[in-house]
């Protein structure tokens, strides 16, 4: 009875989504679209500019039968993102720019301006830059989630991962983060003692946020039971990279303010 009920809920959710988005049946939709997979991560990497250079982020959500594909489009690698130009972008403008893709997204989420906390970052880009308004974006990460995640997180496609803060999700990306000795880092420690290092902070909910404001996070974060937030100054180099042997898949979480963290497997 439980299995039937669970199946019925998922099936009902699917038909609801079809009705809301006007989507076609899965076997009627072309599967050609920019994708990040281990075999495609062979192109050159891009060294980002100064850590304080802002980047802009747009996420797209596409239903693919039994799972959701989330693509992260970023201005990484194309110089500092122009804040006024990004703020002037509307969802219809973004949708029109992405309409040329073989597989148009069902939902689009416009994020905030992001700045890295690392001393330097190298990011692999696996798709050509595309123009969205007067800005240029490329795909930097892909996440695959089962469709039934919407049963527990129905606001995911409207709020992104801020709808599910402190929940781990897989991210396929070719990334390398470097923090020099003397750098201050910001970490979330889960109930099992596993650290997640903040890689970038976002202006999505506070357009005036600055690096020094991150020290206020312990007073405003609503952490799950057993979790802690800590700040510390490094006495040696810290490096975190998405490893090829793991299919360039790393684990990320986000807090309720849109700040990104990456699982620290430096000791693995």
- Whether 1 maps to a domain, the answer reads no
- Whether 213 maps to a domain, the answer reads yes
Give the C-alpha distances (Å, rounded to integers) separating 167 from 22, 27, 149, 156, 259: 30, 31, 11, 12, 13
- Whether 150 maps to a domain, the answer reads yes
- Whether 165 maps to a domain, the answer reads yes
Q: In this predicted structure, what is the pLDDT of residue 252? A: 93
Q: Is the pLDDT of residue 163 over 90?
A: no
Give the Cα separation of 184 and 231 in Å (integer): 7
Q: Is the pLDDT of residue 131 over 70?
A: yes
What is the average pLDDT score of the chain? Answer: 78
Structural domains in the chain (count):
1
Q: In this predicted structure, what is the pLDDT of residue 31? A: 26
Q: Report which of residues 27 and 149 the model is more confident about.
A: 149
Give the Cα separation of 211 and 60 in Å (integer): 27
How many Å separate Cα 266 from the centre of its chain? Answer: 21
- Whether 39 maps to a domain, the answer reads yes
- Whether 15 maps to a domain, the answer reads no
Q: Is the pLDDT of residue 26 over 90?
A: no
In sequence order, the 6+-apart residues with CB closer than 8 A to the CB of 120 are 47, 48, 51, 177, 178
- Whether 14 maps to a domain, the answer reads no
Give the Cα separation of 132 and 100 in Å (integer): 11
Sign of CA dihedral 34, 35, 36, 38: negative
Q: Is the pLDDT of residue 246 over 80?
A: no
- Whether 51 maps to a domain, the answer reads yes
Tens digits of residue pLDDT in 219-233: 999 999 999 999 999
Q: Which of 163, 169, 129 is nearest to 146 (CA)?
A: 169
Tens digits of residue pLDDT in 62-120: 888 888 889 999 998 887 899 999 999 999 999 999 887 766 788 898 988 899 999 98
Q: What is the DSSP code string of the chain?
A: -HHHHHHHHHHHHHHHHHHHHTPPPGGGS---S----GGGTTS-EEE---TTS-EEEEEEEEEETTEEEEEEEE-TTSSS--HHHHHH--HHHHHHHHTTSSS--SEEEEEEEEEE-SSEEEEE--S--EEETTEEEEEEEEEEEETTHHHH-TTHHHHGGGGSTT--EEEE--EEEEE-TT-EEEEEE-TTS-EEEEEEEE-SS-TT--GGGGGGHHHH--PPTT-EEEEEE-SS-EEEE--GGGTTEEEEEE-TT--EEEE--TT-
Segment 136-151 mean pLDDT: 86
Q: In this predicted structure, what is the pLDDT of residue 225? A: 95
Q: Is the pLDDT of residue 182 over 90?
A: yes
Domain that residue 91 falls in? 26-263
Give the Cα separation of 249 and 176 in Å (integer): 12
Q: Is the pLDDT of residue 165 over 50?
A: yes
pLDDT band, residue 52 (cuts 50/70/90): low
């Amino acid at each position: 009875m439980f299995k039937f009920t669970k199946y019925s809920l998922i099936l009902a959710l699917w038909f609801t989504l079809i009705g809301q988005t006007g989507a076609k049946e899965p076997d009627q939709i072309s599967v050609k679209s920019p994708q990040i997979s281990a075999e495609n991560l062979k192109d050159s990497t891009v060294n980002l500019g100064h850590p304080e250079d802002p980047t802009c982020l747009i996420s797209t959500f596409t239903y693919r039968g039994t799972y959701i594909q989330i693509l992260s489009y970023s201005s990484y690698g194309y110089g500092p993102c122009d804040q006024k130009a990004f703020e002037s972008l509307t969802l219809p403008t973004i949708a029109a720019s992405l309409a040329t893709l073989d597989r148009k997204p069902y939902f689009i989420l416009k994020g905030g301006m992001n700045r890295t906390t690392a001393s330097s970052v190298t990011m692999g880009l696996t798709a050509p830059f595309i123009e969205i308004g007067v800005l240029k974006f490329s795909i930097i990460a892909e996440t695959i989630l089962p469709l039934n995640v919407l049963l527990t997180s129905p606001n995911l496609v409207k709020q992104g991962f801020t709808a599910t803060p402190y929940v781990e999700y897989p991210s396929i990306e070719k990334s390398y983060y470097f923090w020099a000795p003397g750098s201050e880092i910001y970490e979330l420690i889960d109930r099992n003692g596993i650290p997640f290092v903040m890689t970038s902070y976002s202006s999505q909910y506070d357009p005036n946020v600055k690096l020094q404001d991150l020290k206020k996070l312990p007073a405003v974060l609503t952490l799950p039971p057993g979790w802690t937030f800590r700040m510390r100054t490094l006495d040696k180099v810290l490096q975190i990279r998405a490893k090829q042997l793991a299919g360039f898949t790393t684990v990320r979480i986000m807090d309720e303010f849109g700040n990104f963290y990456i699982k620290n497997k430096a000791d693995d």
